[in-house]
Structure 1
């Protein structure tokens, strides 16, 4: 398996783990670790997309990363 595929799978795992932890109430959506898992997922997915490009997936990932970073800004956090 190629490296970019493994990196993309790792990114997917980050998303799934973050979502599972929130649903199991082990992690709050306002936690920095939740945002970091989302950022790792985005970055890994974007890296993978740089080898096997898909415009729809790229746009989705770019906005996911943008909104996660905006949400991490001190003025936008409630907890």
Structure 2
């Protein structure tokens, strides 16, 4: 345990993170033109919440996965912010 949180609280936080990631995936699947700020923002929130949970209930491979998940979400947010200014070139 790296964070001094009760296991039950860590699990609730982890389930909230999981719900965020599932929501984001369903959102992009169900929408014809999903908002990238919603998609990547919710994914980033999910990765952050799951990371908190994993720092209590350590699972190294899952922690690394959440790091990549967060990095991809940040990349998506940066791309969306750049494209917001009217530049619609594919990246």
Give the TM-score taking structure 2 as reference length. 0.74
On the 8 A contact 1:70/1:76 being kept in 2, the answer is no
Larger Rg: 2
Q: 1:39 aligns with which of 22, 44, 49?
A: 44
What are the ranges of 5 or more consecutive residues in structure 1 without an aligned counterpart? Answer: none
Alpha-carbon distance in structure 2 between the residues aligned to 1:61 and 1:19: 15
Count of aligned pairs between the two proteins: 78
- Change in Cα spacing, 1:63 to 1:48, as seen in structure 2 (3 Å) is same
**What runs of 5+ residues in structure 2 fail to find an aligned partner?**
1-6
Distance 1:67 1:59 in 2: 13
Aligned residues of 1:21 and 1:27 also touching (Cα < 8 A) = no
Q: What residue in structure 1 maps to residue 60 of structure 2?
A: 55
Q: Runs of 4+ in structure 1 displaced over 4 angstroms?
A: 74-79
Q: CA RMSD in A?
A: 2.3
